Chains A and B, each alone.
Chain A
Amino acid sequence: MTCFDRNNLMMWVDGELPAEEAESISRHIINCAGCTAFIEAQKRMESLWREEWTDPPESVFENMRRGITQSTPWWRTQRTWYIAAVLCAAYLGVRVFYLDNAHTPLAAVAVSEIAAGANADEQSDQEATADVTMEQTDAVQPEEVAPVEESSVEIVLLTSDDSPGSSESAEDIQTEGIVSGCLGGSALPVMQDAVHQRDEAGRLMNSGYFEMSQEIVEVSAAESEISSESYGSDDSDQMAFGSISAVGAGSGGGGLSAAGNTSSTVQGQQSTTPSPEEDAVCCARSLDASVSTDYSVLITMGPSAAALIQRNDWMSLFEVIDKLLAQNYYCSGEEVVLCVDFSGNVSGPPELVETVIDVPQASYGNSTVTVYFY
């Protein structure tokens, strides 16, 4: 006698087999002690486990119900306050490091890095000079910075030798929302690092974490002229020009992958300055708005993650999110949960360990992406 496959026997127990096959098994097991023993053992195991359950007291359910449907719950719970505090801390931290950098600190970081490089150059090469001062960055007052809704960051970096009048011109530029640094030509590698940092910052802002309006920023002809006047020094032995337009986009789910409104060019000619047309080409990279999935990102951090997340980790994190969004992997959910595990990978980039669509509702638009860090 040929016995049936164990899987089929269990499907028969579950009542999931077609009638004809089920009938065959029914006939078989009458005369097969082995199959019968298998079925009985399986059923005994499962039924005992199922029946050992005892419901909790009704009063506990009542408390939970009250917590769900009445006003008690979310803003009064200790956990919520804890999460809110962590979120605020995270936001402030990110703002200090990135968002503010998008307006002044980023420029300050870039300029200070350049200045640092210039100082190093001064030590090693007395020919280089740096005309970057903190006054220039401090001169960017909050009211002079474009509001978040119209955020734009443009940094024009030029290297030249001791450009006359550069400080004055820089102030003019700053009033236009541009921070400029002028320094010795041998600081080019440092400037390239700064440009790289801005690239990353641009990518971050475009990752949707910061809610900023999608806006294409173009360098105007007038601004370019200022740049030309200020930095088109005949004395410069080398000039590097880098220009970035970082535009925060709170929308454009799939478009995140096209976030880099970044360009940088290095020009070796002494008096070469970018024409207005070149500037426009460099900066007017449009965001890919072909996929318009509005979403917001809510980040919840556990205490260990809060302690472990380093500045650079955010870049990796948003790259992960970008990739997923670009794949539209979970854009069909009203609420999406990502769990990012930091516990096993402290030094490296965060690892996305789980992606689950929580609410099975096909609903494009207004999705919420919740990211849990552990």
Chain B
Amino acid sequence: MHNKYLTVTALTKYIKHKLETDAHLRNVWLKGEISNFKHHSRGHMYLTIKDDQTRIQAVMFASDNRYLKFRPEDGMHVLIKGEVGVFEPYGQYQLYIRHMEPDGIGSLYLAFEQLKEKLQEQGYFDKSHKKELPSFPKHIGVITSPTGAAIRDIITTIKRRYPIVATTVLPVLVQGPNAADSIKRAIEWANQKGDFDLLIVGRGGGSIEELWAFNEEKTAKAIFHSAIPIISAVGHETDVTISDFVADLRAPTPTGAAELAVPSRFELLDKIQTLVRTMSRSLQLIMKNYTDALNRIKQSFAFRYPEQLINQKEQELDRYVERLKQSMSMRMEQKEEALAHLNMRLFSQHPKRQIELVRKELDNFSKQIDAQMQQLIDSKYNQLMANVDKLTLLNPLEVMKRGYAIPYTKDGTIIHSTEQVNQHDVIAINLADGKIDCQVLSVEEENS
């Protein structure tokens, strides 16, 4: 019997299921006011959305809210896209917010922020692309509506300040769906025409929708690609458009644009006067400087006492000659010293010592040779004496002393054989102490 009672959980789950399967609640577009806004430290946003009658709890998870282009605050009116679900622990239905944007400006606001971010990333706002405005423009093109306060403010301000500039109005649509194209064409036309040196692009104040043409990519790109410098002047001081970021200079208002575009002729007249005064003063100063210099020269000592100048120079000359001499003798001394030094070195290399050395050696050799020579002579002498002794022993005279004799024929030939003599021949016999002449009595031959 308890079966007909549900648990709280079961009921909650059932409700949750009902809500989550309802197509209308899956895709809720809601507008209301924020209250009790809390941005949890973990990133999720908890808030209440209310109108003057009722309220609903809402949550926006960090994964969704990080794409928000604004900071939600209490009291802010917002447009929300989300779905309704149940938070089971509290049995509470609540709104899960997927998208949120401020009410009023809405999607335009979002588009603005998105385009701004995109162009910024692409470098359209970089300072390096900003062109310098001419100091004294010659021909200004005003791209705006030919009717209305803006054109009047611009033209009258330019005429008042700097009437010598030529001005041409390039009439365009400044609001509505064709405005951006119209502005783009005018900028391109001015660039083709080629005789403009400055453009003012703008319009008077209006709602964000009315100013929208100046927030379109087409307009921004046309401004960016213009070779002519552009001043943007859209709405009031507080209205900021994409065109303002892209333009070379942003003016707070159309009047401001005209003031930035041209110098004031009264200020210029003042400036010219100042320049003329400066010029006169400078010239006077220059003339005074030259006069002073001339006077100084005239008054100079040299002009008054020229002989003094010569005397002084004479003295100087003497001093220079003295110094010259001094330095000359100093140099001579230096050179002499160097020469003496070199001489000394040369002397130390003199060959006398070597000659002596060699001579000593030569003496030694001579003595050696003499000694050896003597030795050789002595030995030869001794040899000779020995030979003489031997010879003495062989001397026939000596033999004859012992009783031997030598017979000679009468013609002096030594007789060796009996055949050399005949009977009655006269022969001589030599003895040791003389000779005997003899006659051969007979010859007797012995047989041997």
**B and A form one assembly:** no
